[in-house]
Amino acid sequence: MAEVTYLEALRQGLWEELERDENVFMLGEDIGEYGGAFKVTEGFLEKFGAGRIIDTPISEAAIVGAAAGAAHMGMRPIAEMQFIDFISCAYDMLTNYVATARYRAGLATPIVVRGPSGGYVRGGPFHSQMPEAAFFHTPGLKLVCPATARDAKGLIKSAVRDDDPVIYFEHKFLYRRIKEDLPDDEEILTPIGKARVAREGSDLTIITWSAMVWKCLDAAEELASSDGASVEVLDLRSLIPMDDAAILGSVRKTNRVLIVHEDTRTGGIAGEITSRINEGAFEWLDAPVRRVTAHDTPIPYAPTLEDYVLPGADDVVEAARLLLAY
Amino acid sequence: MESALTPAAPPADLTQENLLEIYYFLRLTRSLEEQLVNLYRQGKVIGGLYRSLGQEGESVATSYALRPGDILSPLIRNLGSMLVKGAQPVEVLRQYMAKTSSPTAGREMNIHFNDLDKGFLGQISHLGDMVPVMAGIALTFKMRVERRVGMVYVGDGAMSTGAFHEGVNFAAVQKLPLVVVVENNGYAFSTPVHKQTRVASLADKGRSYGIASYTVDGNDVLAVYGLARQLIEAARSGEGTQMLEVVTYRRKGHAEHDDQRYQSEEELALWEGNDPIDRYVSRIGDAGWATPDDLERIDSRIEREISEAVGTAESDPLPEGESAIGGVFA
C-alpha cells in the first residue's frame, strides 16, 4: 500500500493504461514536454514518446475530432482539455459528431475527454466551471466524476476501456488535497454506472458527486454530532449512465432526499434526479426533494464572491435540517 | 486530332480499362442522381435531394486516384467519390427513401453513411467537422507506419468554419498523410465565394498553413486525376498534408427545392458548355481510347443496374417506429 493523491492516482491510471495497450495514446495542449498544466502527464513523454503523447495546437475541436477519427480506426485516444472550461470549444464535435456516431452510422468512438474541472480554487469565470449538465442532455456520451483517489484511478482506467465516448470530469480542488492508500499489486477498475455509498445513514439521503462528496461528508458529520442525525451520502460517480437502483434504494431506506451539486441550479442535474425519484419512489418520500447547488451566475473570482456562489458544507447542513424537520 | 488508329498512350498510369471505368463512374453518378430526381418528384425521396451536376468529374477523378486501403470522407456533392470507393446505388436509393434496409436503417439520410472497409467515412451536416476527424484517421496511419492516405472534401463554404481551420492546421503541424480536396463550385447555398473570403484563390488558404497547395480545372477529369495522384503519393511518402483546389461549378441549386435565383442564365449556360462528362467523352473519343460502342455498352449497363436497384429499394419498407430506440451506446 502507498498513500497517493487524487492527482497521482489519476496519473497512475493513465500510465497503466498506456503501458497495457499500445492503442492508447494522449493528445492535448502542453501535455508532452511540459507535462501538463497540472503535471498530470509529467514524465509521460520520456516514457511513451512523442508519437503517443502528442502536444497539439490550441484547437479543442481538432483535439476531439482527431481523437474520434483515430478511435474509429481502433485506437483508444485520451484527449486532454487543459481546463474543462474549454470543452465548450469542442461542443459541436462532441455533441454532433462523437455522440451521434454509433447511433447514426454504427461507428465505434471509444475516446476519453478529460480535464480539470470545478471551482473553489479562485480560478474566475473560465477556470472554475463544472459543465456536466451541458453534456448530460446529449444522448451518446458517458459522464464520470470521481470523488476519491481510488475512483480517480479506477474510473480513468474503465473509461479508457469503455467502448463508448466518456467525458471524465476530474476535480482540480481534489488534485492534491485528497490522499488515500491504494494497493500496489491490485488492478483498480471502477465500474461506470455504479454509485458508491460514501457514508451509511438512515434519516436522510444526500445524493452528490465529485468534490461535493467531501463537503457533504463534512455536513453529515456535523449533523451527526450536533443533531444526532444519521445521514447517508451517496456518491454517484457516474452521471451517465446513472445508478437509478442505488438512488431509489436509498430513498426507500431514508425517505428524505437532498441533492447537492456544484453546477448551477437551473437545468442542473438535480432536476432530473428529482424527476426520477418522483417517477420511481414518490410514495416513499416523507418530504419534498430539495437541492443545494451553485447560484445561477458565472463563477466569480474574488474569494468572498466565489464562496457565496458555490455551495458549502454549511448550505448542506441548513438544507438537511429543513428536510429532517419536515 | 490524331487518328483513332494510332492512339496516344493514355495519360499518367491509366490503362484503357481504367479510362472506361472512370467513364462508368461519371455516368453512374449523373444517372443515379437523375433517377433520384424522378423519385423526388414522385414524393418517394423523404428529405431533400442534393445534386452534383457539373461536379461529377472532380469527385470521381480525385477518388479514383486513391489506392485500396485509403479512406475518404465526402461532402454532400461527392456521391461520385463514394461510388468509386464501392458504395452501391441501391444503398444510396435506400438512404434517400429512408428504408429499413438502408445502411443506416433509416436513421440518417442521403449519402450520410459509411463503409470503412471499403474506404469511405460518412459525413455529418456540420461543415468542416470531417477535417479534424479525417486528420485523426491520417494520424492513425502515421502512428501505425501504414502507407495509407486520407482524403477529405471541403467546399468554399466549409473553409470558413473553425473546424476546418483547426483540422487543417493540426494535420499540417503533424505532417499527416491527408489530402484536402477543395471544391470551389462558386456557391455555398446562395452565398458566392467573394462573400465567403477575401483570398483570390482558395488554395492560398492551404499555403497559409504551410502545406503544398495547387489549383486545377475541376472539369478536366484527367488533369484532376493526374494532380490528385501526385499529391496523394506525396502524402503517402511522408511529405505531409496536401491541398488541391478543383475549380468547378454547381449547376443545380443547393438542393432540389432551391430555385437558384442568384445564378444567372449566362453563368449557367457558360458552365453547361464546360460539362466535365462531355469534355471527358470528347477527350477519350478524340484520342482513340474509347469507341462510341464502348460508351454505349457502359450506358446500357448503368441503365440496367439503376433500374434493378430502384426496383429493389422501392419495395423495401420503412423501419418500424420502435427500432429508433437502442444503439446509442455499445
Q: Which domains does chain B have, with CATH numbers?
A: 25-256+266-313 (3.40.50.970)
A248-300 tens-digit pLDDT: 999 999 999 999 999 999 999 999 999 999 999 999 999 999 999 999 999 99
What's the pLDDT score for residue A24? 98
Pairing of strands B71-73, A290-294: unpaired
Closest-approach residue (CA) in chain A for B164: A62
Alpha-carbon distance B84 to nearest alpha carbon in chain A (angstroms) = 20
Contact at 8 Å (CB) between A232 and A204?
yes
Kindly provide the residue ranges of all beta strands, DSSP E only, lying in A87-158, ordered along the sequence: 112-117, 142-144
pLDDT > 60? residue A90: yes
pLDDT band at A175 (very low <50, low <70, confident <90, very high): very high
What is d(CA A208, CA B301) in angstroms, rounded to the nearest whole number?
Answer: 65
pLDDT > 50? residue A195: yes
What's the pLDDT score for residue B10? 66
Q: Which of A18, A55, A97, A161 to mutate to test the interface with B (most CBs of B within 10 A)?
A: A97
Which class for A312: exposed (0-12), middle (13-18), buried (19 or more C-beta within 10 A)?
middle
Mean pLDDT of all residues belonging to chain A: 98
**Cα A283 to the center of its chain, rounded Å:** 30
What's the pLDDT score for residue B3? 37
Please give the positions of A annotated as active site: 127
A212-259 tens-digit pLDDT: 999 999 999 999 999 999 999 999 999 999 999 999 999 999 999 999
Q: Do B132 and A77 touch (CB under 8 A)?
A: no
B190-196 contacts at long range (C-beta below 8 A, 24 or more positions apart)? B190/B254, B190/B258, B190/B262, B191/B157, B192/B262, B193/B156, B196/B156, B196/B157, B196/B159, B196/B160
Q: Do B107 and A103 touch (CB under 8 A)?
A: yes
Contact at 8 Å (CB) between B70 and B119?
yes
- DSSP conformation letters of A201-256: -SSEEEEE-TTHHHHHHHHHHHHHHHH---EEEEE--EEES--HHHHHHHHHHHS-
Q: Do A104 and B108 touch (CB under 8 A)?
A: yes
What's the pLDDT score for residue A107? 97
Counted residue by residue, chain A has a size of 326
As a whole-number percent, the residues of chain B with pLDDT over 90 amount to 96
Three-state SS at A105: helix
Topology, domain A196-325: Rossmann fold (3.40.50)
Eight-state DSSP code of residue B222: H
Q: Which chain B residues are closer than 8 Å to A107 by Cβ?
A: 114, 116, 121-122
Residue B131: name the closest of B83, B211, B74, B209 by CA.
Answer: B74
Q: What does CATH list as the number for A2-182?
A: 3.40.50.970
Determine the Cα angle at B141 with ends B138 and B147, to 5°: 115
Q: Which residues pair with A117 in a beta bridge?
A: A171
pLDDT band at B13 (very low <50, low <70, confident <90, very high): confident
Q: Which residues pair with B54 in a beta bridge?
A: none
Mean pLDDT of all residues belonging to chain B: 95
Residues of chain A whose beta carbon is less than 8 angstroms from a beta carbon of chain B are: 25, 51-52, 54, 56-57, 59-75, 77, 92-93, 96-97, 100, 102-108, 139-140, 142, 162-164, 241
Q: Do B329 and A102 touch (CB under 8 A)?
A: yes
B287-322 tens-digit pLDDT: 999 999 999 999 999 999 999 999 999 999 999 999
pLDDT band at B9 (very low <50, low <70, confident <90, very high): low
What is d(CA B191, CA B202) in angstroms, rounded to the nearest whole number?
Answer: 15
CB atoms near residue B257 (< 10 Å): 9
What is the distance between the terminal CA atoms of chain B, rounded to a whole angstrom?
61
Contact at 8 Å (CB) between A57 and B170?
yes
Q: Do A66 and B167 touch (CB under 8 A)?
A: yes
Question: What residue ranges of chain A are covered by domains with CATH 3.40.50.970?
Answer: 2-182
Q: What are phi and psi of A261, to 5 degrees?
A: -140, 155
What's the pLDDT score for residue B4? 37
Residue B328 has its nearest CB partner, among A71, A97, A102, at: A102
Residue A93 has its nearest CB partner, among B108, B129, B170, at: B129
pLDDT band at B127 (very low <50, low <70, confident <90, very high): very high
What's the pLDDT score for residue B2? 35
Closest-approach residue (CA) in chain B for A54: B174
pLDDT > 50? residue B1: no
| Torsion sign over Cα A220, A224, A229, A231 | positive
pLDDT band at B8 (very low <50, low <70, confident <90, very high): low
Residue B122 has its nearest CB partner, among A67, A105, A241, at: A105
Mean pLDDT of B194-208: 96
Closest-approach residue (CA) in chain A for B327: A103
Q: Which of A58, A59, A78 to mutate to test the interface with B (most CBs of B within 10 A)?
A: A59
CB atoms near residue A101 (< 10 Å): 24
Alpha-carbon distance B143 to nearest alpha carbon in chain A (angstroms) = 7
Residue B126 has its nearest CB partner, among A56, A92, A103, at: A92
CB pairs under 8 A between A and B: 129
What's the pLDDT score for residue B190? 96
Q: Do B133 and A68 touch (CB under 8 A)?
A: yes
A53-75 tens-digit pLDDT: 999 999 999 999 999 999 999 99
Cell of B199: 483570398
Q: Which residues pair with B183 in a beta bridge?
A: B155, B246
Q: Which chain B residues are closer than 8 Å to A56 by Cβ?
A: 170, 173
Mean pLDDT of A111-121: 98
What's the pLDDT score for residue A212? 98
What's this model's pTM, rounded to 2 decimal places? 0.96
Alpha-carbon distance B329 to nearest alpha carbon in chain A (angstroms) = 6
